């Protein structure tokens, strides 16, 4: 995995149609998660539940670049959009047309995608859009098309909408896994509002041609504001599941949700679903539940909810319970905790999930996080069961995991400390991860930084991979100036079957010692110069096929430099170079790259350039390889650091 190229987000998707995202939350490194680029392991600072309180599945979506060490291949894309409203003379707010093109070289067949789209929009009245795309890979070609339209009358009192999407059997889009080949989706909806009453109707149809599954959902409902404190939402739904690979099922049910706020401190809600008719397996079971939120004091609130789900067949019943408290203890201090328990008892169509999550901010300086989760039975569920979240089908294994974290970040103290630990035991993959990091400043000019890590990964069909690392740094800057910052760094690692390969062996034991010195000089506000020298000793144990052991030892020297010139606040010119010399063989490897850096907004950096050379090293090279590159990353906007520890902490 290439450092800095990951993009993580949390998606909550509709229980009945996971292809639709209900909510999306982008995650930020160091704030929301910590990542080990070598092992590809992510440790979240907050627990990620398997589902939300309503049962909607929660997905962790990650996009990243990886260095496979193979041949270089070009991936390029372009997007252009034009607002043609002034040219057509229509009485609309916007008429936009767009074109998209993507080309990706691959080992066997190149992938190409070309698409066009149009959108016509008039505020509060009309919104029409359409898109068509063509994809080609080898002898497989496919077309996907979609269209959406919505129209409002009488100031929004009457609204209607429709949507259609068809994905060809051979159409693929690697950037959107929800667009499964052979997918057909149709949606109709309408609403009529009169005073405090609103009548709603909706119909959705999905067909997954390759999986042999079709789904149909129809609902007619009424939303009524009885009083300013009482709201009702009642309706009748019909859900049908069919296809050649599943047992046909049809459920007609009545639903009711009520909310009552008797006082500004208390809100009570209840909900229920009751079958009117059932044919085949129950994929939309009966349920009833209730909950309340009570504000004990202006700064303290209690939250509780309980849901009971019952099934008429032999697959049992289960419940979902949630109890929590949230308190504002004072300025910049908040404490909260919750307990969540959900689970199915038995059955092929149901999964058992048990979880505990808790976050407690004991003070403005100290925060504690804990997580426990256990999932059993997902692999046995039918592909039509909402728990499988079609179309995001994947191999599901039973597992349990526990994690804990502690952060001690005093605002005025010269020290900082954070600790993370995670234990996961599963049938497909098991991981162990522990991390301890901190620093202490001896005034503004001297600081000691440290990071200790342990990670272990056991994956089905692969050898056990383990890594133990200890990193120490001594940061220094002259007392009379903050323009020169120096760091002496020492790192020791012990790998067993290094994940992604090592310096001397890809399987077996490898130990490394690296000593480095780095200097960053800023003679002018627009100019930054950096240099680094390092020496590495690597030792590995190799065992040949006939059982003969051999100990390998290699020494290497590294020197590198970087220059950055800010031409304008949004444009910079950057260049860097690296050279590695192997002492044992005398072999040398190098690389260098000039690049242009754009900062379209504060904190965002886009760099493009070309990397020359042949350097390929797990410790000293850029993992993106050589050739043309474009990177998108977060930039340090803060230019003034009061201490040497604050300067090197984000770079350590």
CATH number at residue 501: 2.40.160
Q: Are 258 and 269 in contact (CB under 8 A)?
A: yes
Is residue 421 situated within a structural domain?
Answer: no
DSSP 508: S
Residues 637 and 512 in one domain: yes
DSSP 233: E
SS3 180: coil
- For 190-238, the pLDDT digits (tens) are 999 988 899 999 999 988 888 888 889 999 999 999 988 999 999 999 9
pLDDT-based confidence at 331, cuts 50/70/90? very low
Task: Find the domain containing 498 and state its range.
Answer: 460-473+480-651
DSSP-assigned letters across all residues of 607-619: EEEEEEE----TT
Which of 175, 203, 223 terminates a domain? The answer is 175
Is residue 400 situated within a structural domain?
Answer: no
Is residue 139 situated within a structural domain?
Answer: yes
Is residue 632 situated within a structural domain?
Answer: yes
Residue 531 to residue 518: CA distance in whole angstroms: 6
Is residue 301 situated within a structural domain?
Answer: no
Residue 181 to residue 228: CA distance in whole angstroms: 48
DSSP 546: T
pLDDT-based confidence at 346, cuts 50/70/90? very low
Q: Are 251 and 282 in contact (CB under 8 A)?
A: yes
Is residue 125 situated within a structural domain?
Answer: yes
Worst-scoring range by mean pLDDT, 51-65, 105-119, 210-224, 323-337?
323-337
Which of 175, 207, 236 terminates a domain? The answer is 175
The reported pLDDT for the residue numbered 379 is 58
Residues 206 and 234 in one domain: yes
Does residue 392 carry a pLDDT above 60?
no
The secondary structure element, H or E, covering residue 87 is: helix 85-88
- Mean pLDDT (the chain) is 82
30 Ramachandran zone, left/alpha/beta (phi>0; psi -120 to 50): left
Residues 103 and 246 in one domain: no
Buried b (16+ CB within 10 A) or exposed e, 109-147: eebebebebebbebeeeebbbebebbbbbeeeebebbbe
Residue 286 to residue 317: CA distance in whole angstroms: 10
Supply 477's token pair.
């800057």
Non-local CB neighbours of 256 within 8 Å, separated by 6+ positions: 232, 233, 234, 271, 272
Who has greater pLDDT, 281 or 198? Answer: 198
Residues 490 and 592 in one domain: yes
DSSP-assigned letters across all residues of 374-424: EEESGGGS-TTSGGG-TTS------EEEEEEEEEE--SSSSEEEEEEEEEE
- For 58-67, the pLDDT digits (tens) are 888 888 777 6
Assessment of whether the complete model's pTM goes beyond 0.75: no
Distances (CA, A) of 120 to 83, 97, 147: 10, 9, 12
Is residue 585 situated within a structural domain?
Answer: yes
Residues found in the chain: 652
Question: For the residues 85-99, what does the mean pLDDT come to?
Answer: 86
Distances (CA, A) of 12 to 26, 173, 461: 12, 21, 31
Which one, of 166, 97, 88, lies nearest residue 128 by Cα? Answer: 97
pLDDT-based confidence at 394, cuts 50/70/90? low
Non-local CB neighbours of 579 within 8 Å, separated by 6+ positions: 558, 559, 560, 588, 589, 590, 615
**Cα 387–Cα 391–Cα 394 angle in degrees, nearest 5:** 70
Spell out the alpha helix ranges (H) of 162-319.
none
DSSP 482: S
DSSP-assigned letters across all residues of 318-333: EEEEEEEEEEEEETTE
Residues 100 and 246 in one domain: no
Residues 129 and 203 in one domain: no
The reported pLDDT for the residue numbered 256 is 94
pLDDT-based confidence at 594, cuts 50/70/90? very high
Supply 73's token pair.
């291949």
Number of domains in the chain: 3
Is residue 205 situated within a structural domain?
Answer: yes
Beta strand pairing call for 266-279 and 300-310: unpaired
- For 526-559, the pLDDT digits (tens) are 999 999 999 999 999 887 777 788 888 999 999 9
Does residue 329 carry a pLDDT above 60?
no
Residues 496 and 601 in one domain: yes
Peptide bond into 391 cis (omega under 30): yes
Does residue 352 carry a pLDDT above 50?
no
pLDDT-based confidence at 96, cuts 50/70/90? very high
Supply 591's token pair.
């690389």
Who has greater pLDDT, 426 or 116? Answer: 116
Q: Are 217 and 233 in contact (CB under 8 A)?
A: no
Non-local CB neighbours of 81 within 8 Å, separated by 6+ positions: 96, 97, 98, 99
Residue 456 to residue 424: CA distance in whole angstroms: 10
Strand arrangement of the beta sheet that strand 21-26 belongs to = 21-26, 7-13, 58-63
Q: For 411, what's the count of Cα atoms within 13 Å in the CB-facing half-sphere? A: 5
Q: Are 500 and 466 in contact (CB under 8 A)?
A: no
Residues 521 and 641 in one domain: yes
Residues 507 and 643 in one domain: yes
Residues 152 and 199 in one domain: no
Residues 119 and 244 in one domain: no
Say how many Å lie between the first and final Cα of the chain, rounded.
Answer: 18
Residues 150 and 203 in one domain: no
Which of 248, 277, 306 terminates a domain? The answer is 277
Residue 509 to residue 502: CA distance in whole angstroms: 9
Supply 263's token pair.
């006082």
């Amino acid at each position: 995995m290439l450092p800095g190229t990951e993009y993580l987000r949390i998606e909550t998707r509709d229980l009945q149609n996971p292809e639709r995202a209900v909510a999306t939350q982008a995650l930020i490194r160091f704030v929301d998660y910590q990542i080990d680029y070598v092992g590809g392991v992510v440790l979240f600072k907050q627990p990620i539940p398997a589902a939300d309180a309503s049962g909607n599945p929660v997905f962790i979506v990650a996009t990243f670049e990886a260095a496979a060490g193979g041949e270089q291949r070009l991936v390029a894309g372009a997007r252009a959009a034009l607002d043609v409203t002034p040219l057509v003379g229509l009485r609309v707010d916007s008429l936009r047309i767009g074109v998209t093109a993507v080309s990706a070289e691959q080992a066997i067949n190149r992938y190409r995608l070309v698409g066009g789209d149009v959108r016509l929009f008039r505020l509060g009245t009309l919104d029409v859009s359409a898109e068509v795309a063509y994809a080609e890979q080898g002898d497989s070609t496919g077309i996907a098309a979609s269209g959406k339209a919505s129209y409002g009358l009488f100031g929004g009192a009457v609204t209607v909408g429709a949507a259609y999407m068809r994905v060809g059997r051979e159409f693929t889009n690697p950037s959107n896994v929800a667009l499964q080949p052979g997918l057909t989706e149709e949606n109709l909806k309408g609403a009529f509002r009169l005073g405090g009453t609103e009548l709603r109707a909706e119909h959705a149809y999905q067909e997954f041609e390759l999986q042999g599954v079709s789904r149909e959902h129809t609902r007619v409902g009424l939303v009524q504001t009885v009083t300013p404190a009482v709201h009702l939402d009642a309706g009748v739904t019909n859900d049908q599941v069919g296809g050649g690979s599943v047992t046909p099922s049809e459920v007609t049910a009545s639903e009711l949700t009520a909310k009552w706020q008797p006082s500004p401190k208390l809100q009570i809600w209840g909900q229920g679903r009751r079958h009117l008719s059932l044919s085949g397996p129950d994929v939309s079971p009966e349920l009833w539940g209730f909950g309340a939120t009570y504000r004990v004091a202006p700064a303290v609130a209690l939250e509780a909810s309980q849901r009971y789900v019952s099934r008429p067949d032999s697959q049992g019943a289960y419940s979902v319970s949630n109890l929590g408290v949230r308190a504002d203890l004072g300025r910049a201090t908040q404490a909260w905790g919750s307990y969540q328990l959900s689970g199915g008892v038995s059955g092929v169509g149901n999964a058992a999930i048990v979880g505990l999550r808790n976050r407690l901010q004991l003070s403005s300086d100290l925060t504690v996080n804990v997580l426990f989760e256990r999932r059993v039975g997902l692999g046995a569920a039918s592909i039509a069961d909402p728990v499988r979240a079609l179309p995001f089908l994947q191999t599901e294994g039973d597992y349990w995991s526990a994690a804990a974290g502690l952060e001690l970040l005093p605002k005025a103290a010269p020290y900082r400390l954070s600790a993370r630990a995670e234990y996961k035991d599963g049938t497909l993959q098991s991981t162990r991860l522990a991390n301890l990091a901190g620093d202490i400043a001896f005034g503004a000019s001297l600081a000691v930084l440290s990071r200790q890590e342990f990670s272990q990964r056991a994956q089905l069909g692969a050898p056990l991979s383990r890594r133990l690392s200890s990193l120490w740094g001594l940061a220094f800057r002259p007392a009379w100036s903050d323009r020169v910052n120096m760091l002496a760094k020492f790192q020791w690692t012990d790998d067993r079957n290094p994940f992604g390969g090592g310096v001397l062996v890809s399987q077996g034991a490898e130990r490394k010692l690296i000593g480095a010195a780095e200097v960053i000089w800023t003679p002018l506000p627009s100019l930054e110069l950096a240099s680094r020298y390092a020496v590495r000793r690597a030792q590995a144990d190799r065992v040949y096929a006939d059982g003969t052991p051999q100990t390998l030892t290699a020494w290497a020297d590294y020197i590198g430099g970087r220059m950055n010139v800010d031409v304008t606040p949004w444009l910079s010119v950057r260049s860097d170079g690296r050279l590695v010399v192997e002492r044992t063989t005398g072999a040398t490897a190098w690389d260098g790259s000039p690049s242009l850096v754009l900062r379209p907004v504060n904190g965002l950096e886009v760099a493009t350039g070309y990397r020359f050379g042949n350097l390929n090293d797990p410790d000293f090279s850029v993992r993106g390889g050589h050739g043309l590159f474009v990177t998108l990353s977060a930039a340090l906007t803060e230019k003034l650091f009061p201490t040497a520890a604050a300067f090197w902490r984000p770079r350590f």
